[in-house]
């Protein structure tokens, strides 16, 4: 059984802050955990407005708190996001995420992330990345 608390994980190498300052993500479950998906609690900072395109991963996102919107670039549709909203990038959808207020999101990735990923120039996570160091992997 794997048991972790968000509070402990936030104090470890499982907490990743984006280089662009738009978000931070605490990765509670990663590839090395062997579950077949990764699970993250991600904070999107108020005013963030950035493009992503997960070409290598499918993502499901549940909004715990906050308000914003997600726009799918293929069709220009804009979907409001508020607490209780779930959106799923089931087609590797290129999208823009905008946060009116700070948003707390629960995110699931398939295939699972290794733990140290940040967005590349295309707004994607690479398939291969360095895992979280072993001394913090069970934090």
Q: Where are the domains of the chain?
A: 6-114
Report the alpha-carbon distance of residue 70 to residue 14 in Å, rounded. 26
Q: Is the pTM of this model over 0.85?
A: yes
Q: Say which range, 13-22, 34-43, 53-62, 127-136, has the weakest mean pLDDT.
A: 127-136
Tell me the fold of 6-114: Jelly Rolls (2.60.120)
Q: Are 27 and 132 in contact (CB under 8 A)?
A: yes
What are 53-83's pLDDT values in tens digits?
Answer: 988 999 999 999 999 999 999 999 999 999 9
């Amino acid at each position: 059984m794997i048991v972790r608390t968000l509070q402990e994980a936030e104090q470890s190498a499982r907490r990743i802050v984006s280089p662009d300052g738009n978000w931070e993500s605490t990765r509670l479950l990663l590839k090395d955990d062997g579950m077949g998906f990764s699970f993250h609690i991600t904070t999107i900072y108020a005013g963030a407005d950035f493009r992503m395109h997960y070409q290598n991963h499918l993502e499901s996102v549940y909004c715990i708190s906050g308000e914003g919107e997600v726009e799918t670039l293929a069709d220009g549709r804009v979907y409001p996001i508020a607490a209780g909203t779930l959106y799923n990038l089931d087609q590797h959808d290129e999208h823009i995420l905008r946060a009116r207020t700070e948003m707390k999101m629960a995110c699931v990735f398939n295939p699972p992330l290794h733990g140290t990923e940040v967005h590349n120039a295309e707004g994607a996570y690479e398939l291969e990345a360095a895992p979280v160091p072993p001394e913090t992997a069970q934090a």
